[in-house]
Amino acid sequence: MADPSRDTLETFENPFPGRNFVIETICPEFTSLCPKTGHPDFGTLTITYIADKHCFELKSLKLYLQEYRNHGAFYERVTNLILDDLVAVTQPRWMKIEAAFTPRGGIRTTVTVEHGVRP
């Protein structure tokens, strides 16, 4: 399985660029590996954005996220990397990712990253 690459992501033309509308996509089946222990991590990604010229295509998003399945990544780093990739590919007016990970050692963590200012 290849390393995560933004080349996997495909886009389509925003059908209503004249309007600032919001797309929220919830991916509850994200999983990667802890770089320290090698054990799997699990989380739910909520990606919210206002597209400019391009929207990301859902099937390609799914394949892109699957590339993290055997990839080692800390919570804070992986959330920022996914934001960077999605921003690079869609150049949105605004984007936010909330990544809520399942508990480890009785503690659970959510990382929220944002690109731009919501219009």
Among 2, 35, 53, 77, binds a copy of itself (CB under 8 A): 77
| Residue 119 interacts with a copy of itself (CB under 8 A): yes or no | no
| Residue 69 interacts with a copy of itself (CB under 8 A): yes or no | yes
Among 2, 5, 21, 53, binds a copy of itself (CB under 8 A): 21
Backbone angles phi, psi at 50, to 5 degrees: -115, 110
Indicate which residue of 7, 34, 84, 85 is catalytic. 34
CA distances 48 to 3, 30, 34, Å, are 24, 16, 25
| Residue 3 interacts with a copy of itself (CB under 8 A): yes or no | no
| Residue 116 interacts with a copy of itself (CB under 8 A): yes or no | no
- Are 70 and 29 in contact, with CB atoms under 8 Å apart? no
Distance, CA of 39 to CA of 58 (rounded, Å): 27
Nearer to a copy of itself, 7 or 29 (CB): 29
| Residue 90 interacts with a copy of itself (CB under 8 A): yes or no | no
| Residue 23 interacts with a copy of itself (CB under 8 A): yes or no | yes
Closest CA to 118 of 24, 6, 30, 28: 24
- Are 45 and 31 in contact, with CB atoms under 8 Å apart? no
Residue 54's H or E segment, with its range, is strand 54-56
Site residues (vs a copy of itself, CB under 8 A): 1, 14-16, 19-29, 31, 39-40, 42, 55, 58-59, 61-62, 66, 69-70, 74-77, 79-80, 102-114
